[in-house]
Chains A and B, each alone.
Chain A
Amino acid sequence: MVERGEKELIIPFDIILLLFVLICAIAAITVRDLLSAVMILGAYSFFMCLIWAQMGAVDVAFTEASVSAGVGTILMVAAISKTTRRSKD
């Protein structure tokens, strides 16, 4: 797994990934278009998956990538196709 001794290389990587997660989370709840929100949520799940893999939890990363970024996004897109694409609030 990741060598925790090489902190000079890994810590900036962590901070960049966490920044991306934060940006994706804020964008997903502020954007008006629901289809865009679902796509940003998929990107959020994928960055979370990278963080899990970087921390050594490969099994959790696998579940996050397949369930949340894969099938979850598909199901939400299918739900949007049955309802409206614009958010009312």
Chain B
Amino acid sequence: MIQKSDDIIIKTLARILVPFIQIYALYVIMHGHYSPGGGFQGGVILAASIILLMITHGLKDTQKRMSEKTVAILSSSGVLIYAGIGVVCLILAGNYLDYSKLAKLLHVAPAHARSLGILGIEIGVGLAVMAVMFSVFFDISRGEVSQEDEDE
């Protein structure tokens, strides 16, 4: 399943489609706080684009772009962004995730600071969801490869 596809139509179509899917996912993440969508849905769409790349271009070519180490770093940095914004709000004498306290740090009005804080949370959630969704698929398909190696 995860070998490189021989069909040039499939490979070219996937190569054309992947950037557009990723742009759409970024749109969903960036507009998450005032329209349908958000970090979770955008992260899943971003992961789907990488899974499409993996199905069509094989495990090895995808690993060059997105190695296991990158996935681990991205998933943990997503959680770090989420928790970090919350802890910064705690340090600025507010509650956990009380974005209006970020106004002192960003030099904007409290209402604008709330909007920016939620945007930061969405970006963190999107990164973590993308990395974990891809990691689940990655582990399933890599297990398949190692089993084939044992058979040979």
Q: Give residues in A with beta carbon < 8 Å to B.
A: 58-59, 61-63, 66-67, 70-71, 74-75, 78-79, 81-82
Contact = CB atoms under 8 A, between A and B. Distances in A.
B48 interface: yes
A75 B140 contact: yes
Contacts of A66: 41, 44-45, 48
Contacts of B36: 58-59, 61-62
Interface string B24-39: 0000100000001110
Interface size class of B (residues with CB under 8 A): 20 to 34
**SS class, residues of chain A in contact with chain B:** helix
Contacts of B47: 71
B121 interface: no
Contacts of A70: 44-45, 48
Interface of B: 1, 28, 36-38, 40-41, 44-45, 47-48, 51, 133, 136-137, 140-141, 143-144, 147
A33 B140 CA distance: 21
A4 to B, nearest CB: 20
A75 B44 CA distance: 12
A78 B137 contact: yes
Nearest to B42: A66
B143 A71 contact: no
